[in-house]
Amino acid sequence: KENLPFYALEEVGKHTTVESGIWVTYKEGVYDITKFIEGHPGGDQILIAAGSSVEPFWVLYGIHENPHVFDILESYRIGNLNKEDAQHMTADMSDPYSSDPKRHPALKPASAKPFNAECPPSFLVESFYTPNELFYVRNHLPVPEIDPENYELEIYIEGKDKTRVFSLDELKKMPKQTITATIMCAGCRRSEMTKVKPVKGLNWGPAAIGNATWTGVPLREILKLAGVNEDDAKHQHIQFEGVDADVTGKMYGASIPIWKALDKRGDVILAYEMNGVPIPRDHGFPIRVIVPGVVGARNVKWLGKIVVAKDESDSHWQQNDYKGFSPSTDWDTVDFSKSPAIQELPVISAICQPGGGDTVQVQNGRITVKGYAWSGGGQKIVRVDVTADGGKSWHVAKFDHQDSALPPKHWAWTLWSAEIPVENNAKSVEIWAKAVDSCYNTQPESFENIWNLRGVLSNAYHRVRVYLKS
Ligand code: MTE
Ligand code: MO
């Protein structure tokens, strides 16, 4: 086949009829399948790929799993795609995830395609700002490839006939704002709730959360430029659409209430930097909306479009997912239209050091425990209580890092530590932690009575059993 001629994709594209010959490509091969189609009634399904690659269709129908098909195709080979075109085709066609970025090996995948991963919890308490490479990744779809030069953000106000478009350059030229905000997935710590009874969802540990600085343009400034009238009551929601799409072309989407977007103190920004560098591809390059205090799912990455609307986003993730239910609601009785979409998250904490099952050195009758605590809606953590004797004695943790922002504008987590006494000669103890926020809301004691079929809002006391070494 090395001796066969090379063709450009453009040339292949001209061969779509029986008269001109029907050509298709597969990886670097070019095939004339005119004879195949003539001889195989029903085989003309493949005409959908005429003049182009058969790969996207084969991926959809799973044909690629049958080696016999390749042999047949190979017998119709007439040439090779020129190098440039071949590279391009094989990269995006055969595996929609093949152009996903490389990840740090410390990120342990809960699912590989789409990529979902968290780092070992012990790393989280090492730094107030979670390093970008260790920040959990929650993707529903392949990571889109966006050329920053051609990036466009569209803004559409319902009832107006013009959309306003911003380039990345235009956004970056506007006055910028930096905030520190923690982002958490609604499913963080789901793996503990699952122990009560199985739930549907990724098996997240306590590290589906991270804290970072985000720099970008205040969303309200962009909305004003686009002509949003704050007093117009017909608009109640701001919808966000990512450019990441599924095979049917449906984009990831979500929405927030308009007050959060327009409130100067809401601090919603269209971010282009994360911890001082351009947002990495996994986290939404080049633009991502940061909605501090609000569940991860509304912090739409790879933002392509904003709609100022009367209604919430009609996307699956706004309507039929990321909602809470009663423990007695099951998949036969659930009615997603009956629960509101999660926005502000409830108070949560977790013990990150030691980890469950670790052996811990006892010093002067005490062990050291470290963790994070955070609450949604801009509430600040006012106390973290830790016990190693089932709640007979509670010890108030010391805050190792907490920023000074006042509630309800306190977007960052608090890192804490505590030295707790343990019983002489005990071989193991169970450590519990619970946090209290500035509304004096605190965490529920157990998962039994907050269990829900999607395993979201999994914020009961965190409990880890550790072994002791004296
Ligand atoms: N935005 C887009 N476009 N696509 C997505 O799959 N996942 C959401 C949100 N924004 C998602 C998205 C969910 S559920 C979460 S928890 C956060 O992004 C995760 O952000 P991270 O991957 O930067 O940690
Ligand atoms: Mo999420």
Domain boundary among 338, 363, 388: 338
Q: Is residue 443 part of a domain?
A: yes
- Please state the rounded mean pLDDT for residues 147-165: 95
How far apart, in whole angstroms, are the C-alpha atoms of residue 37 and residue 33?
6
Q: Is residue 200 part of a domain?
A: yes
CATH number at residue 272: 3.90.420.10
Given this model, what pLDDT does residue 86 score?
81
pLDDT band (50, 70, 90) for residue 61: very low
How far apart, in whole angstroms, are the C-alpha atoms of residue 329 and residue 449?
12
Same domain, residue pair 307 and 382: no
Given this model, what pLDDT does residue 93 score?
57
Distances in whole angstroms, Cα of residue 272 to Cα of each of 37, 95, 281, 284, 296: 50, 28, 11, 8, 17
- Please state the rounded mean pLDDT for residues 223-233: 93
Please give the residue range of the domain that contains residue 418: 348-469
Chain center to CA of 208: 10
Express as a percent the part of the chain with pLDDT over 70: 94
How far apart, in whole angstroms, are the C-alpha atoms of residue 31 and residue 102?
33
Closest ligand 1 atom to Cα of 303:
3
CB-based burial label for 404 (10 Å; 0-12, 13-18, 19+)? exposed
H/E element, 6: strand 6-7
pLDDT band (50, 70, 90) for residue 260: very high
pLDDT band (50, 70, 90) for residue 51: confident
CATH number at residue 29: 3.10.120.10
Q: Is residue 102 part of a domain?
A: no
pLDDT band (50, 70, 90) for residue 60: very low
Q: Is residue 60 part of a domain?
A: yes
Tell me, what DSSP letter sits at residue 144?
P
- Please state the rounded mean pLDDT for residues 96-104: 89
User: Which pair of structure tokens corresponds to residue 325?
Assistant: 């239910």
Is-contact 358 403, C-beta < 8 A?
no
Given this model, what pLDDT does residue 94 score?
65
How far apart, in whole angstroms, are the C-alpha atoms of residue 338 and residue 470?
54
Domain count, the chain: 3
- Alpha carbon of 301 to ligand 1 centroid (Å): 6
CATH number at residue 406: 2.60.40.650
**Chain length of the chain:** 470
Same domain, residue pair 11 and 88: yes
How far apart, in whole angstroms, are the C-alpha atoms of residue 346 and residue 374?
8
Q: Quick check: 63 pLDDT over 90?
A: no
Express as a percent the part of the chain with pLDDT over 90: 78
Same domain, residue pair 158 and 243: yes
Same domain, residue pair 322 and 250: yes
Given this model, what pLDDT does residue 5 score?
94
Residue nearest atom 24 in ligand 1 by C-alpha distance: 137
Radius of gyration of the chain (CA): 26
Given this model, what pLDDT does residue 161 score?
85
Q: Is residue 110 part of a domain?
A: no
Distances in whole angstroms, Cα of residue 189 to Cα of each of 280, 343, 359, 442, 461: 25, 18, 22, 16, 11
Given this model, what pLDDT does residue 233 score?
92
Given this model, what pLDDT does residue 73 score?
85
Rounded mean pLDDT of the chain? 93
pLDDT band (50, 70, 90) for residue 456: very high
Same domain, residue pair 332 and 354: no
Same domain, residue pair 352 and 413: yes
Same domain, residue pair 162 and 311: yes
Same domain, residue pair 163 and 41: no
Distances in whole angstroms, Cα of residue 20 to Cα of each of 12, 51, 81, 155, 267: 10, 10, 18, 44, 60
* Digit-coded pLDDT (tens) for 322-336: 999 999 999 999 999
Q: Is residue 106 part of a domain?
A: no
Q: Quick check: 212 pLDDT over 50?
A: yes
Same domain, residue pair 159 and 277: yes
The C-alpha angle 97, 100, 105, rounded to 5 degrees, equals 115
Flag the least confident range among 30-39, 174-183, 370-379: 30-39
Mutate to test the pocket of ligand 1, among 139, 202, 241, 348 (most ligand atoms within 8 A of CB): 139
- Alpha carbon of 283 to ligand 2 centroid (Å): 12
Same domain, residue pair 216 and 75: no
Given this model, what pLDDT does residue 44 score?
62
Q: Is residue 165 part of a domain?
A: yes
Say which residue, 46 or 456, is predicted with more confidence: 456
Given this model, what pLDDT does residue 65 score?
54
Phi, psi at 24, each rounded to 5°: -135, 165
Helices (H) and strands (E) in the chain, counts: 11, 27
Given this model, what pLDDT does residue 247 score?
75
Same domain, residue pair 323 and 431: no
Same domain, residue pair 57 and 177: no
Domain boundary among 307, 338, 369: 338
Q: Is residue 116 part of a domain?
A: no
- Alpha carbon of 140 to ligand 1 centroid (Å): 7
* Digit-coded pLDDT (tens) for 239-252: 999 999 887 788 99
Hey, which residues are catalytic here? Answer: 40, 64, 138, 185, 322
